[in-house]
Structure 1
């Protein structure tokens, strides 16, 4: 019996050592939690790597990306080569757990022997790096507020609109660039904007490439006579049933609320169309405190 137990213990030990030194993906793992959606964190990681390239001469390549909850990077700086594997998992409606697996491609064996057990230069540097990322992410999250409203319905609205396309991070800038075109058309043709509270209607969202096609819309009277134009068109945005949030903050980052709705839907078993409709209730051209700018965002339920 003792021999069998010793044999079993040896098998378990060698199996563990084989996994730890040969199969395990990381040399060292750091885990922490943040009050943000998985997509917000994913965007933060991408922006952080861009900053690291600019300020630290660290060059990052995306090796693998799945939805908004998994990113694997390779980083090169001089003769240093690292891999960072980010896993994001929603804990509840507002909290996400982040696990960062770190691997030094040139000194992996040594780091696995030391870093998990004693304080080494590698371990200290990586803890400081991830801590810096976390602090920057938390500073960004402090710039806006998202309130989950739950299931809601929007109103049917008649609009003048212009169709645009941009990467997700530049949607607000793209709207501003074309604002004069659509507002100028409405002014020239003496078409009154109702309330001057525009809409952004997403018609396609390529989540892998982070590119959106959308309509930049202004509400007008249904009785308005259409004056032909190569860019500006008229249409009805139908009433939608879906999940809604209220976003307070700069419109440049209102997509953070989209990610909140996606995580909320996943946690609560809803299927969404992934075509957000934003209604801007504040005019940024009037200035004021950004944290008080209000936007209603609804993502419709997917049709059965």
Structure 2
């Protein structure tokens, strides 16, 4: 072997070792695929870490969050300090690849020497931990179904509505909380509700803080006469063109269809205005199989 080749190999080797021990962001990486949108997985991560904080005394801090496809967290438990870097990449209209980079801030050098090659305590514990996350996520995915319907148009509707605000995970609970207020007003004033199938109109969606402002709406006849009210208002929701999905499942998690539409739009070069409209076609108070509760969801195309 000539000297030039030896020097080249030495440079490549030292460059790799420098990257591996000094620049590489994680000690160990776990990858899996799951049949869910990136946003559904992102929500699952947040809910999972909240549960672990309560049950395992693990305290999680978000260091960085980007859209629904990247989360970097720091976890502390006693003297233990870890970093988890989650990357979610949509593969197709239904499948997402999840990569988790794990770094032990107290024993990073040792873990890099050992974890990729032998079943250390660190590696075994992390694999088990992510395994339970994946199992919980798959159980959740079994609780609903989503069908992408493609380009559609909604109908113009005249509604009575009440404006509300909540964290994304509690929008259905917030609707139920205010249901007696709007229904009570309509009943009291003998205003007919058409079909008793309410709408939810998102007016603002703060994706970073996961907070939504929305109108909880009931369709009524357009010529309705009404008395002014401090909470209940009236308006026309115009017909809109956008991407539509049909969601089957509990209304608490209907936003899973939003995430599916966003991933679909990204894959197929659509630009959407992130203000979904949901039309609930089943009454949850009637009970029954939640997988038969149907919701039509449309996210309008962004204005050019």
Aligned to 1:82: 82
Query: Which stretches of structure 1, 4 residues or more, deviate above 3 A after TM superposition?
Result: none
Aligned to 1:187: 187
Aligned to 1:38: 38
Structure 1 residues 181-240: Cα deviation after superposition (integer angstroms, max 9, x where no partner): 000000000000000000000000010110111000000001101210001011000001
Instruction: Give the whole-Å Cα distance in 2 for the aligned partners of 1:255 and 1:202.
Output: 11
The Cα of 1:287 is off from its aligned counterpart by 1.2
Aligned to 1:228: 228
> TM (normalized to structure 2)?
0.99
Instruction: Give the whole-Å Cα distance in 2 for the aligned partners of 1:208 and 1:98.
Output: 20
Structure 1 residues 19-59: Cα deviation after superposition (integer angstroms, max 9, x where no partner): 00000000000000000000000000000001111111111
Aligned to 2:126: 126
Alignment of 1:1-304 (within 5 A): 2-304=2-304
The Cα of 1:156 is off from its aligned counterpart by 0.3
Structure 1, gaps ≥5 residues long: none
8 Å Cα contact 2:189/2:226 also seen in 1: no
SS at match of 2:247: strand
SS at match of 1:128: helix
The CA RMSD over aligned residues, in Å, is: 0.6
The Cα of 1:289 is off from its aligned counterpart by 1.1
SS at match of 1:47: helix
8 Å Cα contact 2:72/2:83 also seen in 1: yes
8 Å Cα contact 1:33/1:95 also seen in 2: yes
The Cα of 1:285 is off from its aligned counterpart by 1.1
The Cα of 1:288 is off from its aligned counterpart by 1.2
- Range with bigger deviation, 222-231 or 28-37: 222-231
> TM (normalized to structure 1)?
0.99
Structure 2, gaps ≥5 residues long: none
SS at match of 2:221: coil
